[in-house]
Amino acid sequence: MSQQHSLQLDDRDRALLAGDEGEAMALAMRVVLRAAEISEATRLQDICFAHIDACFYNGQAHVDFARFMVDNGARLAVPTWTNTSLVSQVDTQVRPESKDPVVVSGARLLMDLYDQLGCEPVWTCAPYQLPGGPRRGDHIVGSESNAVTFYNSVVGARTNKYGDYLDVCAALVGRVPFSGLHTDEGRRGQVLFTLEAIPEALRREDIFHHVLGHHLGRAAQSRVPVIQGLPADSNDDQLKAISAAAAASGAVELFHAVGITPEAADLERAFQGRTPDAVIAITPDELIEARDSLSIGTRGRLDMVAVGTPHFSYTEFERLVPLLDGRRVHEGTLFYISTSRHVHALVAEQGWLTVLESAGVEVIVDTCTYFTPAVRGCRGRVMTNSAKWAYYAPGMLSVESVFGTLEECVESAVRGEVWRDHRLWQNKSWGARS
């Protein structure tokens, strides 16, 4: 606690602390300072954007905090966007209040309070898919794990992973402790992962990026990984998959991909001129093991398909719609897509919702399917193309997850049972000898 005095505070910091702008702002400043002391930051850093997670309901303490802020004159210093919620504000039938009155009404109240606080109500875990977000070099507040990793790695904005309350307090004050991934030193690549042993054809498959991310999360531990060997045309959806999977299975908050991500034009720059602490060649067997660890089930009747974790992008809809056009999901199978209201509007403009509706697909916004059962339930054998969903859902819901490609998800949904593209699942396709 004694380090508070070594921090450089400006006049506004001191005024906030003294309560000049009310109790809420004083608490916000105290929380930011406490975080700075704990992380041993020597100064605070101005930010220009925040994406907060404290709007995701997990009990009355979330509501009490937001209400305290709203009732005591809190004012946001920067544009502040909201993460996914437990419920949808647009479609109240996604999780009807009658199912769980305390939780659902609490979640709705929490959303209203953050609306009142002046947040941009985007309710998405993939805010980087929306226009008007931060750019390279911007210091920001991120909280949702996949968004933190995507912003740091792919956008080149700078954030640590801020937990609930601190995310809001920093957005109110407009400052964060200058530490970790806000500093150049914190962003230096530490471990080099190479892909020479992995067939190039596989490296272009979407499923590879999910599996690579899942493996990376476990192998990188708390070090900043640098990946060499990703195809130069790797797209944002694939980089999203790496971000989400690596942040879920491990603690990766920043990765560099040589020749692709903004701070890694080449190896030299990714490591800031230093030598990697370790060089690890990823083996086919490791990837196969990581891939298989994401499936509890492998065959049989399919109860549900869940895609859009993190939220489905416009380009993912663009790929999915032709696969489903003129087809119909099996009557015993549910098919959910989670997305943001922003992307939903774009998809509606294209007339794609009609195609999806007649295929028997349900699109939900503001929320996600892995927290609690949505709409018509979520149980049994569930197929997903998301490593993050496959990793988390079996702990949150009673489901048997089956991990596969988007094409496998569609084909399985139509057949009502798990279908595998055997060409892709042969060990040979992953570079293994047998």
Partner 1 sequence: MARSPAVAEQELGCALLSRIVITARVLNPGAATAKAMVLDEPLSFWGGFDASTGTIVDRQHPQRGEGVAGRMLILPSSRGSAGTPAGIAEAIRRGVGPAGIVLGKADVNVAVGAMVAAALYGVEVPVVMVGDADRARFRSGLRVEVDLDGRISIETQIDLL
Q: In the window 376-395, what residues touch partner 1 (CB under 8 A)?
A: 392, 395
Q: Which is nearer to partner 1, 35 or 126 (CB)?
A: 35
C-alpha–C-alpha distance, residues 226 and 3, integer Å: 34
Q: Nearest to residue 367, comparing CAs of 132, 89, 149?
A: 89
Min separation Cβ 291 and partner 1, Å: 20
| Residue 21 interacts with partner 1 (CB under 8 A): yes or no | no
Min separation Cβ 129 and partner 1, Å: 19
Q: Which is nearer to partner 1, 171 or 258 (CB)?
A: 171
The maximal CA–CA distance of the chain, rounded, in angstroms, is: 70
Min separation Cβ 50 and partner 1, Å: 12
| Residue 64 interacts with partner 1 (CB under 8 A): yes or no | yes
Q: Nearest to residue 180, comparing CAs of 164, 161, 198?
A: 161
C-alpha–C-alpha distance, residues 339 and 330, integer Å: 22
CB 175 within 8 A of CB 45: yes
Question: How far apart, in Å, are the Cα atoms of 238 and each of 135, 175, 270, 374?
Answer: 19, 32, 20, 26
Phi and psi (nearest 5°) for 308? 100, 35
Which residue type is seen at 94? V
Min separation Cβ 77 and partner 1, Å: 18
Q: Which is nearer to partner 1, 38 or 279 (CB)?
A: 38
CA 25 to chain centre: 29
Q: In the window 23-52, what residues touch partner 1 (CB under 8 A)?
A: 27, 30-31, 34-35, 38-40
Binds partner 1 by CB under 8 A, chosen from 54, 173, 246, 413: 54
Q: In the window 198-257, what residues touch partner 1 (CB under 8 A)?
A: 251
Run of H or E including 359: helix 352-359
Q: Which is nearer to partner 1, 142 or 229 (CB)?
A: 142
Phi and psi (nearest 5°) for 290? -65, -45
| Residue 18 interacts with partner 1 (CB under 8 A): yes or no | no
- Letters for 131-170 (x = contact with partner 1 by CB under 8 A, - = none) are ------------xxx---------------xxxxxxx---
Residue 203: CB atoms within 10 A of its CB come to 17
Sites of contact with partner 1 (CB under 8 A): 1, 27, 30-31, 34-35, 38-40, 53-54, 56, 58-62, 64-65, 68, 143-145, 161-167, 251, 392, 395-396
